[in-house]
Amino acid sequence: MPLIPVSKVIERLPPSHHTMHVALSYMKLNRTRQEKYILAKEMGYTLASYVCSKSVFWNDLSIGDNCFILENQTIQPTVKIGNNVMIWSGNHIGHGTVIHDHTYISSHVVMCGHTVIGQRSFLGVNATIKDFIKIGNDNFVGMDASVVKDTSDGSVVLGAKGEIFEGDSDIAKKTRNKFFGLQ
């Protein structure tokens, strides 16, 4: 397919005849993908989701639009996945988990049962989230981090001990700036 500028996409591929998928990664802590998702919806497009057939999930899975879910997922009963969520390969999503909009989950993340993941959060490779944990909006959970208590909005969780740095701390600011270009 040819690349078409957004300014020309409606006339070349009208929403009355085409669906769209916004395939962007976690730039600026998922905000860029969120902006393009909103733009596509405003343009009148239906946004397609993809769930790889090489994943295991129950019939009661609830999934929003513009989701991209790769292979080897184990998604247990009563999971709810919001809109515009990207889930990379090989994760375990425990029963009753809720993943809110515009979130990115890297590979081999384990979420125990009844976990709640806030909007625009990023979960790094091999992160582990204890059952009944609530992760706030705009959180960065680093590679190999263990989350054993709730986090507030804008928090950064690093390391196997799951050390949490509140959103206004210097470490949280520097980490968000380094990985996402955000203060």
Which band of pLDDT confidence, cut at 50, 70 and 90, is reported for residue 20? very high
145 pLDDT more than 90: yes
Mean pLDDT of 149-178: 91
Measure CA 165 to chain center. 20
* CATH topology for the 50-152 domain: UDP N-Acetylglucosamine Acyltransferase; domain 1 (2.160.10)
Where along the chain do its domains lie? 6-42, 50-152
Counting residues of the chain whose pLDDT is more than 90, the rounded percentage is: 83
Predicted confidence at residue 179, as pLDDT, reads 84
**pLDDT over threshold 90, residue 26:** no
Confidence at residue 29, expressed as pLDDT on a 0 to 100 scale: 83
Average the pLDDT over 102-131 and give the result.
Answer: 98
pLDDT computed for residue 102 by the predictor: 98
For residue range 61-102, list pLDDT tens digits in order. Answer: 999 999 999 999 999 999 999 999 999 999 999 999 999 999
